[in-house]
Amino acid sequence: MPHVETRTEFIITAGESPKRLDHFLANREPYYSRTALQRLIEEGHITVDGQMVKPSHKVKPGDKILLVVPRPEPLAIQPEPIPLHILHEDEVLLVLNKSAGLVVHPAPGHWTGTMVNALLHHMQSGEGHLSSIGGRERPGLVHRLDKETTGVLVVAKTDQAHQHLSAQFKEHTISRLYEALVWGAPKKGEGRIELAIGRDIKDRKTFSARTTRPKDSLTTYKIIERFGKVAAHVALTPGTGRTHQLRVHLKAIDCPILGDQTYGGKKVMKIGDIEIPRVMLHAKVLGFVHPLTKQVMKFSAPLPEDMETVCQDLTNQGATPS
């Protein structure tokens, strides 16, 4: 794409038959792929008569289309001396305990201060390289955790290790266990949540069952302790790896994760006098077959201090755990 912002205007002529907006632009602007055009439409950079629309919007004679291609932000990712909590490292991979608030990889709005910046700095000390499969912005990243989620994450140093680990994630042979603090409490002590989800048709930044491309997803849960009727500490095992899966599934059973305003609203940001500092989700355990030795490895990270504090505050407030 161009390195400066470009603005192009089209007015649909009387002889133009109605067709999808993305199809029309793909024919008029061969420089851009249809996928790139769809992304620009969804991000609001392409409008029809000044209004945001969907890629499937049918254009008609007289419509005025404005195509704005923003100047891309620089992609040169710089090493930064950001502390990393390394649980294990060898010649082909490393395992981290990610801290809360750390964005995993660079993206618009977060080109610096990410885990990738920290990893690049770590590799400068002679610890090897990161796999190249993820591209310049996601070197070594086999999977990811949301910014506010803490816990165990594996990073590949070689392309071979990356492919081996990716295959395990794809085949769901990775063992994963999460812990979360949730609003309210499931009625049953344990259960399964089976709900096909995908990108929400109205809010493209979130995921839900209200989607045009549902993907089967499964989560099993077990209550570790209840804090009266106001909250619970639960263990979660994802059977699939959909984006925001645990957050969406817990919302679906009316037990959104504490601190997750996106899926739980304002009610989950405060319990009584207790302020919830972030999304209370922690990747507790990660197990996989080592790409080189073929041995089963399992890593665990203790519940972070802020989640322990919220548990204690819930108890002190009078919501006695059971």
**32-79, pLDDT tens digit by residue?**
677 778 888 998 999 999 999 999 999 999 999 998 877 655 457 899
pLDDT digits (tens, 9 = 90+) for 236-294: 999 999 999 999 999 999 999 999 999 999 999 999 999 999 999 999 999 999 999 99
Whether the predicted pLDDT of 198 surpasses 90:
yes
- The DSSP string of 181-222 is EEES--SSSEEEEE--BEEBSS-TTSEESSBSS-B--EEEEE
Residues 242/197, Cβ–Cβ less than 8 Å: yes
Q: How far apart are CA 234 and CA 270, in angstroms?
A: 18
Whether the predicted pLDDT of 19 surpasses 70:
yes
Q: How far apart are CA 11 and CA 202, in angstroms?
A: 27
Query: How confident is the model over 130-152, as a mean pLDDT?
Result: 90
Domain boundaries, the chain: 6-69, 74-171, 175-322
Nearest residue to 232 (alpha-carbon basis) of 284, 194, 285, 268? 268
End-to-end Cα distance, the chain? 58
Q: Do domains 74-171 and 175-322 have the same CATH topology?
A: yes
Beta-carbon contacts of 312 under 8 Å, excluding residues fewer than 6 positions away, are none
Residues marked as catalytic: 146
pTM: 0.76
Instruction: Choose which CATH entry (3.30.360.10, 3.40.50.970, 3.30.2350.10, 1.10.10.60) describes domain 175-322.
Output: 3.30.2350.10
Instruction: Choose which CATH entry (3.40.50.300, 3.40.50.170, 3.30.2350.10, 3.40.50.1000) describes domain 74-171.
Output: 3.30.2350.10
Element (H, E) at 283: strand 281-289
CATH superfamily of 6-69: RNA-binding S4 domain (3.10.290.10)
pLDDT band at 322 (very low <50, low <70, confident <90, very high): very low
Q: How far apart are CA 107 and CA 200, in angstroms?
A: 21
Model pLDDT, residue 36: 78
Q: Where are the alpha helices (DSSP H) in 100-158?
A: 115-122
